[in-house]
A and B are shown apart, each in its own frame.
Chain A
Amino acid sequence: MSNDLYITASSSINTNIVSKNELLVFENKEPDLSQFLLSVYRHLDTQYPKFHKMDNLSKLGWLANEVLLKDSFDTAKYKPEDIGIVLSNANSSLDNDIKYMETVKEIASPALFVYTLPNIVIGEISIRHKFKGENAFFINEDFDAAFIQQYVGNLMHNEVLQCCICGWVEALGENYKAVLFLIEKDKSSNSVIFTKENLNKIYQIENG
C-alpha cells in the first residue's frame, strides 16, 4: 500500500459556514457574499492587504486555502516547486467578468480585468504561500471527484508533485461554494486515503 496518497486535510466555505476537517470553524448569517467573506477574513485574524483587492472568487479560494493549511501544514517539508494547485468550477470567472463589463461602458478597470481569468485564484494562493509547482484550472459542470483523483494522483505518482491542493471554487452572484483538499504522500492523524469515494464523501458533508 506504499502507493497510497492521503487526504490530510479538507476545508469548505458554503452556506455561510466555514469548516475544516468537517468541523465548524466559523458561521455568520450575513447575506451579502462580499461582507460574509470579509467577516471570514477578520475571523482568521491575518494581515494580508492584498486580500481586499481580490474579486470574490479569489477571496473565496484564498480564504478556503487559509483554513485548509492553518496550524497544520508544514510548508518547510516541501520544495516550492513540489507543491501544486489543481482547481475547478462551473462558471469560470463569470462573476467578475460581469462586473468588469459594467466598467467598460465608462472606463475599463484594469484592477477588475486582471481577475477575468479563473486561474488568478491559483496565483493568489501561490503568492501567499510561495507555491511554485504545477497548477491547472479545469471547468466542469459539477465537482468531478473521479477526474481530480485521477489527475492529481497521476501528478503525485509520477513525482511531478509531492503535495497538492485541489478542489472546487465557485462564485457567481450570491451563489458560492469552495471545498479544498490537501493531498500528501504521508499519513497524518486524521487523514483518509485519497480516493474518489472519500473526495465525494467529504464534498457532500462539507456541503452540509
Chain B
Amino acid sequence: MTDIFISSDNILSPIGLNTAVNFERLKQDNSGIKKQENKEMSEQPFYAALFENDFSENGLPDIFTRFEKLLVASVEDAFSKTNVKATDKKTVLIISTTKGNISLLETEILSDELNKRISLNTSAKLVADHFGFVNQPIIISNACISGMLAILTGMRLIQSGQYDHAVVTGADLISKFVLSGFQSFQAVSPSVCKPFDAARDGINLGEGAGTVVLTSNKEYSSGIKVSGGSVSNDANHISGPSRTGEELNIAIGKAMKMAQVTSGDIGFISAHGTATLFNDEMEAKAINLAGLQSAPVNSLKGYYGHTLGAAGLIESIISIQSLKENTIMPTPGFESMGVTQPVNVSTTVIQTPLQHCLKTASGFGGCNAALVFSKQQNQQ
C-alpha cells in the first residue's frame, strides 16, 4: 500500500490559532474551557470552550458564515506550511462536520432558500471555490467520528490512486441547537469535565477546526504517516455505546493490523474520553480487549471540550505533534480511576521516545473509529 504522509496541519481553537501555539499551551496546561454566561444559548451558566471572535478579520465576503470562515482560516494556515496546491488536479478537499450552519435555524425564517443555505454542499462549494480546488469536495457527516473518518477517507482515496493529496478539514460551532440537545440528554457536566475519573459527570462542548494535508509525496512529508485506520459499528444502540467495547476493539485491531504494529508498539492512546459514564467505561473495556492497558492513555476533552466534527482532527493533530516532539499529553480533570478495567491514564506531560500512537473515537449511531499514526522509519 502507498504510504500516506502528513504534510502540514492546523488547529484553530479557542486555545490558539495554529498547531504550534495549541501544543505549547497544552504543555502549559492551558484549557479553553470556561464558565459561559450566554442567555441566548442557555438560561443556566455552562462550561464550554468557545471562540470569542467571529473570524471577520480574514476579509471574506459577508456571504461566508462564521462556520465557513472558520474552515477557511484553518485550511489557509495549513496551506501556508505545505507545497500541496489546491489547484492541483490530483488534490481533493474533504470536509467533516456534524452540524455546519445549523445555527441559522435559530435566527432565520424557514424557507427553501434557507434549507439550501444550511446544506453542507453550499458551504463546501464556497470553501472549495475560495481556494480554487478543481475537484468536487467530499463531505462527511458521521457524528463524533466524522473527523477521523475524513482522515481515513483521504487515506483511502490517495491509496486507490484517484488523488495524490487530500486536504482534510473539519469544524463545528456551538449554538443553542447543539447545547440544548446535549443538555436534554443530561450529558453536560456542571463543571469542567473529568475523563475516566470516578467523579466524572458528563461532557463539555467545544468549538474548533482542524486541518491535515495528506500526501503520497514523501518530499512533502513532515515526518509522520497515517499507517492504519478502521471504522466499526456497535449494532447495539443509537445513543449509547456498546456495553462490551468489542466493536471499538474490532476497529482498533483492524487499524493496528493495517499499520503492521502490535500492542507493544503503541506509545500512547489518544482516547475519545468524553467523560460520560458509559463512553469512558466502554473505551476502557476496548483498550483491555486490545491488550493496550499498559499504554499511556489521554483524553484532551478537558482542554478543548467535545468539538464534535472537529474532534477527530484536532485530537489526531495533537497526537501527530506528540509523536514529533516525543511528548505525551496529560488528561486534565482526571484524579482517581473511575472505570472498571485498568487503563494507564496519563496525568502529566511525559517525555519519552515515541514511534506509533493510536487515536480512537466513538459516536451516536454506534460508530467507532481507530487510526494509527507512525513516524517515518528514519525519524527519531
Identify 15 residue pairs between A and B in the complex whose beta-carbon atoms are under 8 Å apart, listed by A's number: A97-B99, A104-B177, A110-B185, A113-B184, A114-B185, A117-B143, A119-B142, A120-B143, A123-B364, A123-B365, A126-B366, A127-B236, A135-B367, A136-B153, A137-B140
Verify B139–A138 contact, CB threshold 8 A. yes
Q: How many residues of B contact A (CB 8 A)?
A: 53
Binding site for B on A (CB under 8 A): 80-81, 85, 90-92, 94, 97-98, 100-101, 104, 107-110, 113-114, 116-120, 122-124, 126-127, 129-141, 144, 147, 150-151, 154-155, 160, 172
Extra pairs beyond A81-B232, A94-B119 (17, CB < 8 Å): A80-B235, A90-B121, A92-B141, A94-B115, A98-B110, A113-B180, A113-B182, A117-B363, A117-B365, A118-B142, A119-B142, A122-B367, A127-B235, A135-B365, A137-B142, A139-B141, A147-B138
A39, B251: Cα distance in complex, Å: 38
* A104 cross-chain contacts in B, Cβ below 8 A: 176-177, 180
Given contacts A98-B105, A123-B238, A132-B232, contact A140 B365 (CB under 8 A): no
A117, B178: Cα distance in complex, Å: 11
Verify A123–B367 contact, CB threshold 8 A. yes
- B29 CB → nearest A CB, Å: 33
Verify A134–B230 contact, CB threshold 8 A. yes
Verify A132–B239 contact, CB threshold 8 A. no
> A151 is contacted by which of B115, B156, B180, B233 (Cβ under 8 Å)?
B156
* B105 cross-chain contacts in A, Cβ below 8 A: 97-98, 101
* B173 cross-chain contacts in A, Cβ below 8 A: none
* B364 cross-chain contacts in A, Cβ below 8 A: 114, 117, 119-120, 123
Verify B120–A92 contact, CB threshold 8 A. yes
Indicate if B237 sits at the interface (CB-CB under 8 A): yes
> A113 is contacted by which of B98, B153, B181 (Cβ under 8 Å)?
B181
> B141 is contacted by which of A110, A118, A131, A154 (Cβ under 8 Å)?
A118
> A108 is contacted by which of B106, B149, B183, B365 (Cβ under 8 Å)?
B183
A104, B42: Cα distance in complex, Å: 11
> A97 is contacted by which of B120, B124, B176, B177 (Cβ under 8 Å)?
B177
Given contacts A108-B184, A114-B364, contact A136 B233 (CB under 8 A): no
Given contacts A140-B139, A150-B162, A151-B156, contact A114 B239 (CB under 8 A): yes
* A135 cross-chain contacts in B, Cβ below 8 A: 142, 231, 233, 365, 367
A104, B40: Cα distance in complex, Å: 12
Indicate if B201 sits at the interface (CB-CB under 8 A): no
A122, B142: Cα distance in complex, Å: 10
Verify A122–B233 contact, CB threshold 8 A. yes
* A138 cross-chain contacts in B, Cβ below 8 A: 138-141
Verify A131–B233 contact, CB threshold 8 A. yes
Given contacts A97-B102, A119-B142, A138-B139, contact A126 B156 (CB under 8 A): no
Taking each of B159, B184, B185, B363, which has the highest tally of chain A beta carbons within 10 Å of its own beta carbon? Answer: B184
Verify A136–B119 contact, CB threshold 8 A. no
Verify A113–B185 contact, CB threshold 8 A. yes
- B246 CB → nearest A CB, Å: 9
- A166 CB → nearest B CB, Å: 14
Indicate if B68 sits at the interface (CB-CB under 8 A): no
Verify A136–B177 contact, CB threshold 8 A. no
Verify B235–A126 contact, CB threshold 8 A. yes
A126, B247: Cα distance in complex, Å: 12
* A85 cross-chain contacts in B, Cβ below 8 A: 233
Residue of A nearest to B110 (CB): A98
Verify A117–B119 contact, CB threshold 8 A. no
- B157 CB → nearest A CB, Å: 8
Q: Which of chain B's residues 33-83 have a Cβ closer than 8 Å to chain A?
A: none
* B231 cross-chain contacts in A, Cβ below 8 A: 134-136
* A116 cross-chain contacts in B, Cβ below 8 A: 99, 102, 177, 181
Verify A101–B141 contact, CB threshold 8 A. no
Verify B185–A132 contact, CB threshold 8 A. no
Verify B184–A101 contact, CB threshold 8 A. no
* A127 cross-chain contacts in B, Cβ below 8 A: 235-238, 366
* B365 cross-chain contacts in A, Cβ below 8 A: 117, 119-120, 122-123, 135
- A78 CB → nearest B CB, Å: 13
